[in-house]
């Protein structure tokens, strides 16, 4: 009994010391904004094949029941799981090899008296097939950070527990078991982690031919491999930013509003310019009517690029810009039928002055793909005639002009 308390006390001491890791991790600046506040989701939903992991490890276990003395035995762990969010995950696992316990009475699992100890050592094999509900407390309390070295993950588990006799001993028992554990992920790289798994499993004492409740504490260490894309991307939206606003940010938000109004005014001026351009194009088309037909390919090769502008952080067009795209599609792009051999390039851009490089790469690609989908699905443009590219515009004098899709022929 004293040895069990000593083992559980040591495990609790390690766990308490590790709970300090969230506060230490909170000092990392990768998961904080420019005001030092922890940044939390929402996060984009990854594909089904992303954020999976496989882990395997080895260590020790003890088996304790009231009236028995513990003994140390080997144990292995094998698990496969998935993270659904940076904080919530599930896994399925196998634990087993063998376990031992000292008894004052002889039985089928321990028939031979140890004269030095004056007790009988029961030896039996076991396997535990379990499902675990994982909670990454480091990400939950300190915000998600993909390069964090130490993640602290408590979990609950339950499953099927089977014991059996070793060396031809005729004994077997099947029980349901449950318990809790502490999983420590130590990051080595994007794909590999060291895992330390501390687990306590509660099972009926019948598992080793006794009564009451038995406890199986275990500690294993090993390696985990991350499968698919192993990280999460935080969704950055104006609505999300406003939801995080508080009294301390009021002055900053007012300044941002002024800047947005100036940007909107610039966009309105650009829209007026585009409207005038559209009007001039209509006049040119009208003037061309009745004249000898011009070679279609030569016409489109002389066309300058057309530009569609997006609001900051957005991957969809405003109503005004949708009207411009509708005009281009119906009056120009749709005229370039398959016989003219005209190919169209959609260049999605993003402004490097705002947001991270990863976010801007996502925005530029998403904007080009968005226009591609409209042209193919709504206007029936052949996908083979469209090429989608993306780029991040650096050091632009007017960032609003960099949030666009440029259509060239």
pLDDT in tens, 313-372: 888 989 998 998 888 888 767 666 555 667 788 777 877 778 788 888 888 888 889 988
Higher-pLDDT residue of 238, 114: 114
Asked whether residue 375 is assigned to any structural domain, the reply reads: yes
% of the chain at pLDDT higher than 90: 36
If asked whether residues 343 and 272 sit together in one domain, one would say yes
Asked whether residue 209 is assigned to any structural domain, the reply reads: yes
pLDDT recorded at residue 338? 53
Asked whether residue 233 is assigned to any structural domain, the reply reads: no
Of 183, 203, 227, the position where a domain reaches its end is 227
pLDDT recorded at residue 149? 93
If asked whether residues 75 and 179 sit together in one domain, one would say yes
Higher-pLDDT residue of 171, 279: 171
User: What is the rounded CA–CA span in Å between residue 141 and residue 28?
Assistant: 13
Give the pLDDT mean for 229-258: 71
The mean of the pLDDT values for the chain is: 83
If asked whether residues 216 and 311 sit together in one domain, one would say no
pLDDT (tens digit per residue) in 355-408? 788 888 888 888 889 988 988 888 888 888 888 888 888 766 677 777 888 888
If asked whether residues 144 and 272 sit together in one domain, one would say no
pLDDT recorded at residue 129? 98
pLDDT (tens digit per residue) in 283-309? 888 777 766 555 555 555 566 688 888
If asked whether residues 112 and 39 sit together in one domain, one would say yes
Concatenated DSSP letters of 309-343:
E--TT-SS--HHHHHHHHHHHHHTGGGS-GGGT--
Q: Per-residue pLDDT for 132 more than 80?
A: yes
User: What is the rounded CA–CA span in Å between residue 343 and residue 365?
Assistant: 19
Contact (CB, 8 A) for 240 and 74 = no
Domain CATH code at residue 261: 3.30.1330.60
pLDDT recorded at residue 394? 76
Of 227, 251, 283, the position where a domain reaches its end is 227
Of 227, 260, 292, the position where a domain reaches its end is 227
With tokens 């496969």, the residue in question is 80
Asked whether residue 68 is assigned to any structural domain, the reply reads: yes
pLDDT (tens digit per residue) in 36-90? 677 776 777 788 999 999 999 999 999 999 889 889 999 999 999 999 999 999 9
Strands 344-351 and 386-393: parallel
Q: Per-residue pLDDT for 133 more than 90?
A: yes
Asked whether residue 171 is assigned to any structural domain, the reply reads: yes
pLDDT recorded at residue 36? 66
pLDDT (tens digit per residue) in 180-220? 999 999 999 989 999 999 999 999 999 998 999 999 999 99
If asked whether residues 91 and 173 sit together in one domain, one would say yes
Q: Give the pTM.
A: 0.53
If asked whether residues 193 and 289 sit together in one domain, one would say no
Asked whether residue 194 is assigned to any structural domain, the reply reads: yes
User: What is the rounded CA–CA span in Å between residue 155 and residue 175?
Assistant: 21
Number of domains in the chain: 2
pLDDT recorded at residue 292? 55
If asked whether residues 356 and 208 sit together in one domain, one would say no
CA nearest to 219, candidates 201, 206, 192: 201
Peptide bond into 42 cis (omega under 30): yes
Domain CATH code at residue 121: 2.40.160.20
Asked whether residue 232 is assigned to any structural domain, the reply reads: no
If asked whether residues 193 and 255 sit together in one domain, one would say no
If asked whether residues 351 and 388 sit together in one domain, one would say yes
The 3-state secondary structure of the chain reads CHHHHHHHHHHHHHHHHHCHHHHHHCCCHHHECCCCCECCCCECCCCCCCCEEEEEEEEEEECEECCCEEEEEEEEEEEEEEECCCCEEEEEEEEEEEEEEEECCCECCECCEECCCCEEEEEEEEEEEEEEEEECHHHHHHCCCCCCCEEEEEEEEEEEEEEEECCCCCCEEEEEEEEEEEEEEEECCCCEEEEEEEEEEEEEHHHHCCCCEEEEEEEEEEEEEEECCCCCCECCCHHHHHHCCCHHHHHHHHHHHHHHHHHHHHHHHHHHHHHHHHHHHHHHHHHHCCCCCCCHHHHHHCCCCEEEECCCCCCCCCHHHHHHHHHHHHHCHHHCCHHHCCCEEEEEEEECCCCCHHHHHHHHHHHHHHHHHHHHHCCCCCHHHEEEEEEEECCCCCHHHHCEEEEEC
If asked whether residues 360 and 320 sit together in one domain, one would say yes
Give the pLDDT mean for 26-37: 59
User: Which residue range(s) make up the domain with 304?
Assistant: 238-408
If asked whether residues 302 and 209 sit together in one domain, one would say no
Count the alpha carbons within 13 Å of 226 in the hemisphere toward its beta carbon: 20
User: What is the rounded CA–CA span in Å between residue 351 and residue 397?
Assistant: 10
């Amino acid at each position: 009994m004293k040895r069990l308390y000593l083992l559980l006390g040591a495990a609790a001491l390690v766990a308490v010391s590790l709970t300090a890791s969230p506060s230490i991790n909170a000092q990392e600046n990768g998961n904080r904004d420019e005001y030092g506040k922890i940044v939390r989701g929402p996060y984009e939903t990854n594909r089904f094949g992303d954020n999976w992991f496989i882990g395997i490890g080895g260590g020790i276990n003890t088996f304790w029941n009231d009236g028995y003395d513990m003994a140390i035995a080997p144990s292995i762990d094998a698990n496969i799981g998935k993270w659904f969010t940076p904080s919530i995950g599930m896994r399925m696992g196998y634990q087993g090899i063998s376990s031992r316990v000292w008894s004052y009475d002889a039985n089928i699992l321990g028939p031979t008296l140890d004269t030095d100890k004056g007790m009988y050592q029961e030896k039996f094999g076991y396997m535990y097939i379990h499902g675990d509900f994982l909670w990454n407390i480091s990400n939950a309390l300190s915000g998600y950070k993909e390069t964090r070295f130490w993640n602290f993950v408590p979990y609950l588990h339950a499953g099927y527990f089977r014991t059996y006799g070793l060396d031809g001993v005729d004994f077997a028992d099947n029980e349901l078991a449950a318990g809790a554990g502490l999983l420590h992920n130590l990051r080595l790289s994007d794909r590999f982690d060291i895992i330390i798994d501390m687990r306590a499993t509660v099972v009926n004492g019948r598992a080793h031919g006794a009564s009451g409740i038995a406890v199986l504490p275990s500690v294993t260490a090993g390696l985990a491999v991350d499968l698919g894309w192993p990280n999460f991307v935080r969704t950055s939206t104006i609505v999300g930013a406003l939801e995080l606003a508080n009294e301390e940010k009021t002055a900053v938000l007012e300044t941002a509003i002024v800047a947005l109004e100036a940007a909107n005014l610039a966009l309105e001026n650009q829209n007026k310019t585009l409207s005038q351009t559209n009007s001039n194009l209509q006049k040119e088309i009208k003037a061309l009517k009745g004249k000898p037909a011009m070679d279609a390919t030569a016409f489109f090769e002389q066309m300058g690029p057309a530009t569609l502008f997006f609001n900051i952080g957005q991957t969809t067009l405003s109503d005004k810009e949708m009207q411009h795209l509708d005009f281009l599609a119906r009056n120009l792009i749709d005229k370039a039928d398959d016989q003219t051999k005209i190919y169209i390039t959609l260049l999605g851009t993003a402004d490097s002055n705002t947001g991270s490089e990863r976010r801007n790469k996502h925005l530029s690609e998403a904007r080009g793909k968005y226009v591609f989908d409209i042209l193919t699905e709504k206007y029936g443009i052949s996908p083979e005639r469209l090429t989608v590219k993306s780029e991040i515009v650096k050091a632009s004098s007017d960032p609003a002009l960099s949030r666009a899709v440029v259509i060239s022929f």
